[in-house]
Amino acid sequence: MSFKVLFESSTTINLKIEGGFDNPKNELRVSQDELFVSGWFYLPYEKISIIVKSTFDDGTTSEEEHFLNIYRPDVTDHLGLSSKDLTLGFQFIAPLLNVVKVEAFIKIANTCHKAWTGIKLNLPSSIAKNISERCWQEIHHFQPTSNYKFDDSFFIKIKDRFKIYSENEFDDLFKMEYPLCEINFHDFVEQFKKEDWALRTIMNLKEGEVLEVKGFISNEIFTCRASFIIDDMNFLFFSNNKDCFYLIQYTTNISLFFPIYFGSLVLEIDPLVVKQAHSKLPKLFKKLANMGESLLVRKKCYPTFLGLLLANYRPYHFFYDYMCGLNSVIEKTHRTYKTFGIHGMDFFPKDTLPDKCIYASESELRINSMLAKNNQFLIMPCILFHRSNLHGEFKSLSSKIIKNCSYNLDSNIRWEQYDLVIWIGVSTEKRSWIEQIRGYSSIIRDISVKYNNLLVLVDGRTFPQNPQDSDITCKEKEDSILSALISENKEVNFLSMIGLQSSQKIFLASKIDFFISSYQTDSMYPSAICAKPGVVYIAPTVTQEQKSLHIHHKIIEVPSEKIKEIRDINHTHQSWHELSVSMDWRDVYECVLKLIDKYEIRK
């Protein structure tokens, strides 16, 4: 709900009247369910009062009269009045819930003079429904909403009502909203911007405890009232029974979402990902609207901490940003944590996780239902690895995982019979080498001349523990590349890793002599985790800062002047980590020969 207050440009009030409204101010925007009104008036020998008329969304109206009943010694001093006992001031609260218009009148000698009008600001016309606005308000005040029904088109359009603000813009809005309060919005935001917020919070919490954070008004406390999992993001909901906000977790705390302020808005913490969070708000509203009366339990008692959430669509973030965070927490607390994965985003099986994890993977629906039923919440142990000092933890974690990884067909492979074992990465989606079939075939052909018995491991899509349809579709495309490579190199032994899980790939990566792949996630298993030597390629426009997101130990990069960057004309905002490349295979092979010589591979 959002109101805008507009004062009358002129009134019929006797010009001799002194005073005015301290609150509200002209053109003030109000996004709470009440409006604070205050001020003073003085007119000798006349009785003055304030009439507030409210018009509700069902067409009914009500009026309330408020009298001058507050002592204002500052005013009497200002006016030079001898009597200090005059009550010239007023202050009261005007309720705005379900109100579409509120009008204030100054009543003098039984005549009312309009002072200002508060007008409810409608949502965009595509979603301007009183019932939707009321539903949104009641949801965030823990009221039952089971009687509200919406079609899917409503939820798709709902994000149009949310605007993304910077911290400075938001600070200005709050100071205008709370002119008489001591606002410390900067410190409020800064607590969530700290890179290790999630890890410190988890370490300070035990299972069954309540989570509290400092608010933006002095001495104000917000309590976590729920966590809602939407895809690979965690929406932690905080409330103090009057105000509320969401803290949205991804690879770090990426956004603060205020659902009932200024027509609802999103405050960016991590600008790179805040738009992704914004796009998930329709799913959040749909989930809340469908929960109905199950929200009531959250009004009666505070939810308690259950455990940790490990879920991301990308293996990179799962390992770097979650697994490292999880390992760091366990090593420092030595406590056992209940840990949950989400189907389609569960890249590491439980036998590769740290010992003190009680792990289970479920569907998003089942975990959200369990949290609602038991009145509990989860926290992601997320930390942006590239901004942290967890390199020691990364090395330790890699060693642990390598020891626990296995490949179920390992007994069928006689590793000692091969003169050389190499790993090549193929792709049909992003970061692909456009000439990969011809290029890899040529490189394999020339290497097989030098090494008679060659084994080539072909890497592609990594499957989570519970693959989704998109995983299977991608595997089918990459299998066609593998088939082409086999048909052009019939004398060479191939082993497909396309569709294998992370733990299997890490085991196989530990057996190779070197790898060839893109610089990014595709090289994570052999390079970052297993520290194998390799030849890598990357689009020339990628910066050193962007490259620093990935760990490499022994690599040779294909020179940037030998690489042509390929952009998808159908995606004008293609991210740097999605760019494909065109290369002459001879340039790549030259790097392979340098790698073999530099690291004395199988000499």
Residue pLDDT, tens place only, 396-446: 778 877 887 777 776 778 888 999 999 999 988 777 899 999 999 999 999
Below-70 pLDDT ranges, the chain: 1-2, 9-16, 29, 31, 84, 121-164, 173-183, 260-273, 291-300, 349, 384-393, 410, 568-577, 603
Asked if residue 443 lies in contact with residue 323, where contact means CB atoms within 8 angstroms, the answer is no
For residue 134, what pLDDT is reported?
59
pLDDT of 487 reads 93
Q: What is the pLDDT of residue 263?
A: 44
pLDDT value, residue 508: 93
Proportion of the chain in helix, strand, coil states, percent, rounded to 5: 35, 30, 35
How large is the angle between the packed helices 324-333 and 197-204, nearest 10 degrees? 30
- Residue 257, both tokens: 């979402």
Specify whether the CB–CB gap between 528 and 324 falls below 8 A.
no
Q: Which amino acid is at 330?
A: I
Cβ neighbours of residue 10 closer than 8 Å, sequence gap 6 or more: none
* pLDDT of res. 123: 39
**In the prediction, which pLDDT does 234 show?**
92
3-state secondary structure of 351: helix
Which pLDDT score, from 0 to 100, does residue 56 have? 85
Per-residue CA distances from 303 to 228, 255, 308, 333, 374 (Å): 12, 22, 15, 23, 8
**DSSP label of 34:** E
> What pLDDT shows up at residue 447?
93
Output the pTM of the full model: 0.71
So what's the pLDDT on residue 138? 64
DSSP 8-state code for residue 217: B
E strand spans, 311-425: 337-342, 357-362, 376-379, 420-425
Write down the pLDDT at residue 269: 62
Looking at every residue in the chain, the average pLDDT score rounds to 81
